Amino acid sequence: MIIPVDLAKAYRMLNHGPVTLVSSAHGDQRNVMAAAWAMPLDFSPPKVAVVIDKQTFTRGLVEASGEFVLNIPARGIAAQVIAAGGHSGRDGDKFDALGLATLPSAVVAAPRVAGCVGWLECRVIREPHNEQAYDLFLGEVVAASADARVFRDGHWLFDEATDPNLRTLHYVAGGQFYATGDSLQVASD
């Protein structure tokens, strides 16, 4: 079951540094790309930063629409995350090519990617210098949602979910990931 996530807790979905899929849409075109270089930027309103290279088809769709979704894939679609990095949306609809289903978003036009366990719908905060000089895009999170099997009440619950394919992924290079591992709790002071 997919549940809405309180915007004040939305940063927690990205805080542990998972790889993301960036989905975008403009007019009758849509695309999805893999992005490991994404992070929270602020708590409230929640903001994110993500690197979107000038060479990508996604770049034009994000610039034209001013919107994107950061999708947080689960281990079960690791192969599609790699394939999303190896294909271009210029060569045909990448969702169809990869067998990735979509879900409509709550606020933005870009779709959410099925098989993910968290979704951050974002509006671009236009910063042309960052975009040109660094391929760096900033976004405000305008809606957030999660797969309730692994994220509820503002917390990831990977230790409760027994299916390892529901864990999030951390990308290194060359097709190698680390899955999100054991939880540990340190007393805060």
Q: Which residues pair with 124 in a beta bridge?
A: 139
**Closest distance to a copy of itself from the beta carbon of 117 (Å):** 14
Segment near a copy of itself (CB under 8 A); pick from 62-70, 74-82, 94-102, 108-116? 74-82
SS3 of residue 20 by DSSP = strand
Q: How far apart are CB 82 and a copy of itself at their closest, in Å?
A: 4
Query: H/E/C letters for each residue in 144-156?
Result: EEEECCCEECCEE
Q: Which of residues 103-132 bind a copy of itself (CB under 8 A)?
A: 127, 129-130
Contact 58, 4 (CB under 8 A): no
- By CB under 8 A, tell whether 41 contacts a copy of itself: yes
Contact with a copy of itself (CB under 8 A) among 3, 16, 93, 126: 16
If you ran DSSP here, which 8-state letter would residue 9 be given?
G
Q: What is the DSSP string of 9-51?
A: GTTHHHHT---EEEEEEETTEEEEEEES-EEEEETTTTEEEEE
Helix (H, G, I), strand (E, B) or coil at 136: strand
**Residue with structure tokens 């099997």?**
149
* CA gap 26, 139 in Å, rounded: 17
Nearer to a copy of itself, 49 or 110 (CB): 49
Q: Does 91 bind a copy of itself (CB under 8 A)?
A: no
Residue range at the interface with a copy of itself (CB under 8 A); choices 62-70, 81-89, 92-100, 140-148: 81-89
Q: Which stretch binds a copy of itself (CB under 8 A): 54-62, 63-71, 101-109, 149-157?
A: 149-157
Q: What is the C-alpha to C-alpha distance for residues 54 and 57, in angstroms, rounded to an integer?
A: 8
Smallest separation (angstroms) from a copy of itself to the CB of 177:
5
**Identified binder of a copy of itself from the candidate list 4, 45, 92, 175, rule CB under 8 A:** 175
Cα–Cα dist 144/43, whole Å: 13
Contacts with a copy of itself, residue ranges (CB under 8 A): 12, 15-19, 36-42, 47, 49, 51, 75, 78-79, 81-83, 86, 127, 129-130, 134, 136, 138, 154-156, 158, 164, 167, 169-189
